[in-house]
Amino acid sequence: MKAPVSTITETELSLTLYARGKVRDVYSVGEYLLIVATDRISAFDHVLATGIPGKGKVLTQLSLFWFDFLNDLVPNHLITADVQEYPRELREYAAELEGRSMLVKRAQMFPAECVVRGYLSGSGWKDYLATGAICGIALPPGLRESEKLPEPIFTPATKSQDGEHDVNISFDEMAARIGGHNAERLRSLTLSIYRKAADYAAQKGLILADTKFEFGIHAEGIILADEVLTPDSSRFWPLDQYEPGHSQPSFDKQYVRDYLESIHWNKQAPAPALPDQVVARTQQKYLEAFRLLTGKPLVL
């Protein structure tokens, strides 16, 4: 009988804690950082009381897949994800770190989320309904929810601190924050990555509706960092069920958001726990996204 998948919602390694985000615990390891993806799940800017077993492994393994796939477009922060190659002081945590961690380069991160949208959904749809535009980019009138945009658009957002809500900003505001040259470069990289990833996802029967990236400055220049094209950071829709005019079935956290809306949670702390069936279905969605994109199952 297969052992149940354990759930890791927080790590307590005897190392210097560099940061603890909504999902990832980051530790200082000499000149590098150790990123550990936990099984925490967040929605509406709150970490929920229930984790999703194995979610951190899905996020890590899918990010590793995409880092390799995109390496010809942009270098990334990865040193290794093989725990046997980690510094000696990490070996005692090998079982906890296996499959859900990465040793990465330190970088000076840009204080912006690089968001790209190919379809009209989420906060972009709400913005469009209110203003006819997204982040100041005017769109044709009469578009429907989930409709494909004439061209993918770059719609940056502030990088949240301490759980604050990300706020959409204009390209000009981003340029004022990080400099015009950097903003132009990040926009170009973001759109190039999106187009390549979206083309690949379509071959696998998925629509990449939108996603977000984080970049940093390293000695070698601009590098791609954090996570890449996971169900946490991206909207993936099944291509064979696509029907504009309403929200779409998806492989991202929308299933959890829909459940929380259905119980009329006021989106204030404390965040509620998730029932077993929602946990199981969410785990299934993450694993299915991994299988479809990589062509192989992930054994937790």
Residue 26, beta-bridge partner list: 19, 35
What global pTM score does this model have? 0.94
Q: Where are the domains of the chain?
A: 109-264
What pLDDT band is residue 165 in, cutting at 50, 70 and 90?
low
- Per-residue HEC secondary structure of the chain comes to CCCCCCCCCCCCCCCEEEEECCCEEEEEECCEEEEEECCCCEECCEECCCCCCCHHHHHHHHHHHHHHHCCCCCCECEEECCHHHCCHHHHHHHHHHCCCEEEEECCEECCEEEEEEEECCHHHHHHHHHHCEECCEECCCCCCCCCEEEEEEECCEECCCCCCCCCECCHHHHHHHHCHHHHHHHHHHHHHHHHHHHHHHHHCCEEEEEEEEEEEEECCEEEEECCCCCCCCEEEEEHHHCCCCCCCCCCCCHHHHHHHHHCCCCCCCCCCCCCHHHHHHHHHHHHHHHHHHHCCCCCC
Stretch 139-148: mean pLDDT: 98
> According to the model, what pLDDT value does residue 2 have?
46
Instruction: Identify the CATH homologous superfamily for domain 109-264.
Output: ATP-grasp fold, B domain (3.30.470.20)
pLDDT band of residue 161 (cuts 50, 70, 90) is low
The pLDDT score that the predictor gives to residue 160 is: 65
pLDDT tens-digit series, residues 246-268 = 999 999 888 898 899 999 999 99
pLDDT at site 179: 97
Examine the pLDDT at 163 and tell me if it is beyond 80. no
* Parallel, antiparallel or unpaired: strands 137-138 and 108-109: unpaired
Band of pLDDT at residue 3, cut at 50, 70 and 90? very low
